[in-house]
Chains A and B, each alone.
Chain A
Amino acid sequence: MAIEVNGKSFETDEEGYLVNLSDWEPGVADVMAKEDDLELTEEHWDIINFLREYYEEYQIAPAVRVLTKAVGKKLGKEKGNSKYLYALFPYGPGKQACRFAGLPKPTGCI
């Protein structure tokens, strides 16, 4: 499988995650979001950018609590919870947002 972004083709796995994480560019998130019938807003980008920064440091997506805490600190406590994240990413922040951000899919009992 593959997705087309700005005339370039990037390989994805059967679940739609980028195979080569270094392929990522912002257009990837836009195209993936469109396929999921989502329009990315600034709020979405705050999350996607945080995920990418965290991944760069720790080589793994942040735990949900780490993510909600960071969001709460940056955007206000009322947004620092899973409900807010699920409103932005209906398939789940861990999975949908990670896919948009070019991170590998979190696996395990989650």
Chain B
Amino acid sequence: MAKANFDVPELKEYVDVPELVEGTMAHLSPFIAKPDHNIPLGFPGELVEDWHDKALEKLDDLRSRYRSLQVYLDACVKCGACTDKCHYYLSTKDPKNMPVGRQDLLRKVYRRYNTFAGKYFPWLVGAEDLTRETLDDWYSYYHQCSQCRRCSVFCPYGIDTAEISMAAREILDSVGYGQKYCNEIIAKVHEKGNNLGLPGPAILDTLEGLEEDVEEETGVVVKFPLDVKGADILLVTPSADFFAEPHVDGLIGYGKVFHEAGISWTLSTTASEAGNFGMFIGSYENMRKVAMRIRTAALELGVKRIVFGECGHAWRVAYAFLNTLAGPFDFLDPKYPVPQHICEFTYDLIQQGKLNFDKSANDDMTLTFHDSCNVARATRMGDKPGGQFDIPRAVIKAVCNNYVDMDHETIGEKTFCCGGGGGLLTDDLMEIRVKGALPRMTALQNAIKEEGVTHMAAICAICKSQFTKVLPYYGMDMDQIVSVHQLVSNAIILTGQNTDEDDADDESDGDE
């Protein structure tokens, strides 16, 4: 683990609501995107000279396009219900990291230029001019929001800070003041087909390696197909599943499940990424362009179904927006959800009794489950309310003997963000990532102490990478975070698989 050049919060039994300390995080801003990152996304290369007028024009444009944004800017009555709900505020004490404080950075400018009271009596209504200082504050604090929407659960008006944060980032991008991490990645997706910039041959090499590994482990040939025309299912999964740990262990799990189900499937080189960072920067145009790759790949490959792998925000884009962004998907088989989540897919097979498991394969672990923010608060799974909470847990419990939930105030709809979502998963924001993980780390540590939990499972590539990095700051091990389908992979018994009993039979020379 790298040395921290900031104070890592101390884990206590509870996270206390701290007293306000102004400006504790004012120093933190992510690296600024360069022309190479901005221009392919349709943004000015660098900060434009007339940024003041252009920013206000963009705000007008967004208000006219998104009724929700207009309502959110107008509706807040400063009731205070959101103030202690953000993981970043709880861990940094900075009032601009309170949801209402974050919203007000944009709202005060909106009021100054767009409301009667703000135009004539700005001092009465907290309206302020758009200055360079405000623009820099936007850049800093709208990149300290992981767009997790926990605050919106508690707001009596349902004001969604994530949407305000997305709008602010889009305004910043429109004047050439975008964030390097997100924009560089979106540019790579447009060029290469995935966030990592993995070319086809590298994906193929990685998948062939997985086939070797699974065969060596189980004796069964499990294919990880790429660009196979006529397959039934197109699997769209985060490129981290090819690249990182524990993500890849989840990918192995998907492959085993497809194999055992006897359904043909394929990955696609051009749609080798479920993630869609266009959402993080609030850019409809970029989000649509990224989503269209999936439609194009599905048509070219002639698949009947689309299944999404373990990726949190991708599932939001897929579940909530895919049809309007890239639809209609009338060319897919209407008997199945469009699209389907891999957890739904596996759960259905479990319900039908089509998968066999040896749950004891996971007996070295006691599991808990981290609800990822976008899955928890922006989507569903299955056909019942709360399916997005129940189905992943049902999958885990089908393959593990030891499972407990963390504190109920920190899971389900009220889940705390991992601290690295919404385009914050970059080293230049490590301070806010580590601090923002405090509530989740506290709940996890309590579950470790009280329930003997050893590992936490998740279904989001960002959560997995974030915890891998952040757990060691809190004195835990990086490999305590696991993929849900990694657990499936451990326990599934493939037809014809080598078993310990086979080995024992071999040794006893077969007495039947």
Contacts and interface: CB of A to CB of B under 8 A. Distances in A.
A109 B427 contact: no
Contacts of B198: 60
A109 B240 contact: yes
Contact of A63 (B31, B206, B428, B478): B206
Interface stretch (A2-10, A23-31, A42-50, A90-98): A90-98
Contacts of A106: 196, 243
B209 A108 contact: no
A49 to B, nearest CB: 18
Contacts of B427: 15, 95
A91 B2 CA distance: 5
A86 B479 CA distance: 12
Contacts of B259: none
A109 B239 CA distance: 8
A59 interface: yes
A22 interface: no
Interface size class of B (residues with CB under 8 A): 35 or more
A107 B479 CA distance: 21
B229 to A, nearest CB: 24
Contacts of B439: none
A64 interface: yes
B248 A107 contact: no
Contact of B244 (A15, A58, A63, A90): A63
A86 B437 CA distance: 22
Nearest to A106: B196
B288 interface: no
Nearest to B460: A109
A107 B195 contact: yes
Interface in B451-495: 461-462, 465, 469, 478-479
Contacts of A78: none
Interface in A61-110: 62-66, 69, 82, 86, 90-92, 94-95, 106-110
Given A64-B244, A66-B209, A109 B311 contact: yes
Contacts of A35: none
Nearest to A108: B195
Contact of B31 (A14, A90, A108, A109): A14
Contact of B206 (A65, A92, A95, A109): A65
Contact of A58 (B181, B205, B213): B205
Interface in B161-192: 181, 184-185, 188
A15 B428 contact: yes
Q: A-side binding surface: helix, strand, loop or mixed?
A: loop
Interface size class of A (residues with CB under 8 A): 20 to 34
A59 to B, nearest CB: 6
A58 B185 contact: no
A110 B240 contact: yes
A108 B243 CA distance: 10
A109 B1 contact: no
Interface string B417-434: 000000001011000000
Contacts, number: 89
B334 interface: no
B129 interface: no
B510 interface: no
B196 A60 contact: yes
B374 to A, nearest CB: 12
Nearest to A55: B202
A36 to B, nearest CB: 9
B181 A109 contact: no
B358 interface: no
Contacts of A107: 181, 184-185, 188, 195-197
A47 B247 CA distance: 22
A58 B194 CA distance: 15
Contacts of B240: 108-110
B282 interface: no
Given A63-B243, A82-B245, A109 B238 contact: yes
Contact of B425 (A62, A94, A95, A109): A109
Contacts of A60: 196-199, 202
Contacts of B213: 65, 69
B245 A108 contact: no
For B184, B202, B239, B240, the residue with the greatest tally of chain A CB atoms inside 10 Å of its CB is B202
Contacts of B185: 107-108
A14 B37 CA distance: 15
B496 interface: no
Nearest to B181: A107
A92 to B, nearest CB: 8
A82 B246 CA distance: 10
B275 A64 contact: no
Q: Which 8 A-B pairs have the closest CB atoms?
A: A108-B195, A109-B461, A58-B202, A108-B196, A109-B240, A110-B244, A63-B243, A60-B202
12 contacts: A58-B201, A58-B205, A60-B196, A63-B206, A64-B244, A66-B206, A82-B245, A86-B478, A109-B238, A109-B244, A110-B240, A110-B244
Given A65-B206, A107-B181, A108-B238, 20 more contacts: A14-B31, A59-B199, A59-B202, A60-B196, A62-B202, A63-B244, A63-B248, A65-B210, A69-B209, A82-B478, A82-B479, A86-B478, A94-B244, A106-B196, A107-B188, A108-B195, A108-B239, A109-B465, A110-B243, A110-B247
